[in-house]
Amino acid sequence: MYTTSYLSAGPRDSHASASRRQNEYDDPAVVQQATLMYDAIRLLSRCASLYGALHQAEASQRLGLSATDVKALEMIGEFDALTIGQLMQLTGLSAGGTTAVVDRLERAGFIARDKHPHDRRVTVLRPVPARWSAVRQSPAANRLELTGLHHVIDDDHWESIQLFLNRALEALHHEAGQHLTEAAPPDRDAD
**Range of lowest pLDDT (55-59, 129-133, 139-143):** 139-143
CA distances 62 to 70, 135, 136, 138, 162, Å, are: 11, 9, 12, 10, 29
Give the mean pLDDT of the chain.
Answer: 78
* Interval 58-114: pLDDT, tens: 888 888 999 899 999 989 988 888 999 999 999 999 999 999 999 999 999 999 999
DSSP for residue 2 = -
d(CA 71, CA 5): 21
- Its CATH architecture, for the domain 24-183, is Orthogonal Bundle (1.10)
Higher pLDDT residue, 8 or 78? 78
Q: pTM of whole model > 0.85?
A: no
Residue 38: pLDDT band with limits 50, 70, 90: confident
| Cβ contacts of 13-22, under 8 Å, gap ≥ 24 | none
Contact (CB, 8 A) for 62 and 139: no
* Interval 148-166: pLDDT, tens: 666 777 777 878 888 888 8
**Range of lowest pLDDT (11-20, 109-118, 125-134, 141-150):** 11-20
